[in-house]
Structure 1
Amino acid sequence: MQTRKHERIATEEAYAPVKVLNEYRRLLEGGGGDRGFRSLWTYYLKNESVHTNFLVDRIQDLGERRLADMDRLGIDRQVVGLTCPGVELFDVPLARDLAQLTNDRIAEACRRHPKRFVGLAAVALQDVEFSVNELHRAVNELGLKGVIINSHTRGEYLDDPKFEPIFAAAAELDVPLYLHPNTPSDALIGPLLDGGLDTATFGFGVETGMHLIRIIFSGIFDKYPTLRMGVGHLGEGLPFWLFRIDHYHGVHGRTKRYPFRPDLREKPSYYLRNNIWLTTSGMAWEPAISFTRSVVGEDRVIYAMDYPYQVSAEEIAAQDALPLDDKEKKYFFETGARQLFGIDA
């Protein structure tokens, strides 16, 4: 067997403490949460199958079971963050407690296995001030390497000015914000849920791709030019649309179609190529990976698995077989993740 010349760092790997899963169960039993949450977590917590049992067993583990899977698959490190929908569906006091608990548990795992796990902080964006303070605690005291946001917060998006402090904190701390998918909000989910398309098949991409382009169009990267973001699933379709996005951004800017929208210093594609890293989570498909690398740049596409939602040795083999030389492969599997998350060698 040929010896690898790089680590494999998987950069969008999910975790949920037992207490969070129990609170998801409680919310379901009380008929709470939005329609997307009920669709997603009724499936995983109320249905017995090989797939759902595998996920529930693995997602709450940050120890030997997860490490054994990583060893079996050839994953050297995971970047771990709280799974969707995070804690934003809960009342504020509970959400705060669960975010802090999650961060403490992830930090503990990183201390036990410093060469295997890298942690992202959970926040509770119902309380922005708490979230900023918790991000500072998670980075400065716990050693976590960024913040994960599971897309919308009760139907609100990060381009709302009230959420700007979380971007400001990430920029100040020099850590990335990872935008993770969530099921579409109640205002968006109807036709997707009716067609059985509300989660990974299509709904995650609709929700998160829209969210990302809203963030870009908000002008946040002009305010914080050093801000870094990560997004999975090869950018949720946006690389395919970049030509048209740039074109109509220019047309609508010249004709003042949306006067409420700020003028950007650059074309939208600029920010996707300079501030945002795209990971391959769930997208182990050479045509899509190669196209995305050609559009946004070879230094903006890095490896992820999407454990434990999508776990396959064949998908790793497919990405090992990408037509990349040794230097490119090292960046794709290792160096890019180190740059994005500030991971020491």
Structure 2
Amino acid sequence: MTFPDRIDVHQHIVPPVWARALAAQGLDSGGWAIPDWSLSSAIDMMDQQGIAAGVLSVTAPGVHLGDDAQARDLARAVNEYGAEIVKGRPDRFGHFAAVPLPDVDAAVTEAVYALDTLHADGVVLMSNARGCYLGDPDFEPLWAELDRRAANVFVHPAQPPMPLLPGTAAPLVDYVFDTTRGALNLVLNGVMSRYPDVRVILSHGGGFLPYAAYRFSGLTSTVVNPDHKAEDLLRDLKRFYFDTALSASPSALPALLAFAEPGHLLYGSDWPFAPQEAGTYYNHFLENYPHFTPGQAGAINRKNAEILFPRLAD
């Protein structure tokens, strides 16, 4: 790729106020260190990786670090910081607003403010909010609000509510597991069927959801709850969008392309938590995949994202 073309829906930002809040509590991202971030380094990476625009988001553990009041203030500060970045470079950046779940009322308030006043391009949710998964009935008011606005929702994994595998940071294995767990929870609790206008993007190729989707639909309909029809579960599982961050590999791409609906596969880098060397590694697989149909690679790199983020289409 000789010029910036891609729209990167999975690119992270590290607002200083957020980094300080994590450091003050001795927190990181599931055993993964918080990297440095700057506007200039982001643009340099994007130019080198063929990325025209990146949609920025904070990663796990999100903005709720244990205290509701702190979480409300931190969400507002993080979102205003992201909005200023976009305001300065609207040609290169969008942003997903953070919300302070599991404080549902505050999350709804912040989502409305971010979408209406800050003109965020969507909302980022962690796959679980302090152990509470996104299909929880208590979260219904947030989903209803996001659906009314046909919002883009980026689901990023968080450390699941269990001990880390010894010697293994959560981003290496637990994040993949928790994305899958959170997505299935949304479907089995009916969120994806009740709210058809919200567009939900799953990180990292959806974890192992594309690979195991027919396991979920078949076993649920025949063993767990026969009232759930397999075809209905598959319909709701196929409503998800999937990004390619750390997932554009010779083994993952066939499953993604076989399962994802047309237009539902989007480019992602996961920078800077995944360093540029990792981006190059997975871009090589994406750029050299031999089984794309005509136009499919261009759709993944850009065209599919243009539909979700028309502001970035130009």
TM-score by length of 1: 0.83
Partner of 1:269: 234
Task: Give the residue type in structure 2 aligned to 1:280.
Answer: T
1:96-111 aligned at under 5 Å gives the runs: 96-111=72-87
Aligned-residue identity in percent: 26
* Conserved 8 A contact 1:233-1:280: yes
Q: Encode CA deviations 1:59-108: one digit per residue, 9 max, x unaligned.
A: xx2x2121112112221111111111111223111111110111111111
In our comparison, the structure showing a higher alpha carbon Rg is: 1
Aligned counterpart for 2:207 among listed residues 236, 246, 253: 236
Q: 1-side partners of 2:64 and 2:189: how far apart?
A: 22
CA drift at 1:3: 5.4
Q: Give the 3 Å change call, closer, same or farther, for CA 162–342 of structure 1 in structure 2.
A: farther
Q: Any unmatched runs of 5+ in structure 1?
A: 29-36, 45-54, 257-262
Aligned counterpart for 1:279 among listed residues 222, 240, 243: 243
CA drift at 1:265: 9.2
Partner of 2:16: 18
CA drift at 1:195: 3.1
CA drift at 1:266: 4.6
Partner of 2:30: 40
Aligned counterpart for 1:70 among listed residues 36, 42, 46: 46
CA drift at 1:341: 3.7
Partner secondary structure for residue 20 of structure 2? helix
Task: Give the residue type in structure 1 aligned to 2:295.
Answer: K
Partner secondary structure for residue 286 of structure 1? coil
Q: 2-side partners of 1:131 and 1:70: how far apart?
A: 31
Match status 1:246 vs 2:210: no
Q: Aligned residue pairs: how many? A: 309
Partner of 1:259: none
Q: Greater helix percent: which structure?
A: 1
Partner of 1:200: 171
Aligned counterpart for 2:286 among listed residues 282, 300, 319: 319
* Conserved 8 A contact 1:249-1:267: no
* Conserved 8 A contact 2:53-2:312: no
Q: Encode CA deviations 1:228-250: one digit per residue, 9 max, x unaligned.
A: 10001111101111221111121
CA drift at 1:126: 3.2
* Conserved 8 A contact 2:86-2:94: yes
1:114-263 aligned at under 5 Å gives the runs: 114-185=90-161, 189-190=162-163, 193-252=164-223, 255=226, 263=228
Q: 2-side partners of 1:96 and 1:329: how far apart?
A: 40
* Conserved 8 A contact 1:233-1:283: yes
What is the CA RMSD across the aligned residues, in angstroms?
2.2
* Conserved 8 A contact 1:123-1:135: yes
CA drift at 1:315: 2.3
Q: 2-side partners of 1:118 and 1:38: how far apart?
A: 24
CA drift at 1:40: 2.9
Task: Give the residue type in structure 2 aligned to 1:21.
Answer: A
TM-score by length of 2: 0.91
Task: Give the residue type in structure 2 aligned to 1:154.
Answer: R
CA drift at 1:133: 1.7
Q: Encode CA deviations 1:237-279: one digit per residue, 9 max, x unaligned.
A: 01111221111121136656xxxxxx57953221222x21011
Q: Greater strand percent: which structure?
A: 2
Q: 2-side partners of 1:100 and 1:19: how far apart?
A: 11
Q: 2-side partners of 1:64 and 1:329: how far apart?
A: 28
Match status 1:328 vs 2:296: yes
Partner of 1:33: none
Partner of 2:5: 7
Q: 2-side partners of 1:126 and 1:227: how far apart?
A: 19
* Conserved 8 A contact 2:11-2:271: yes
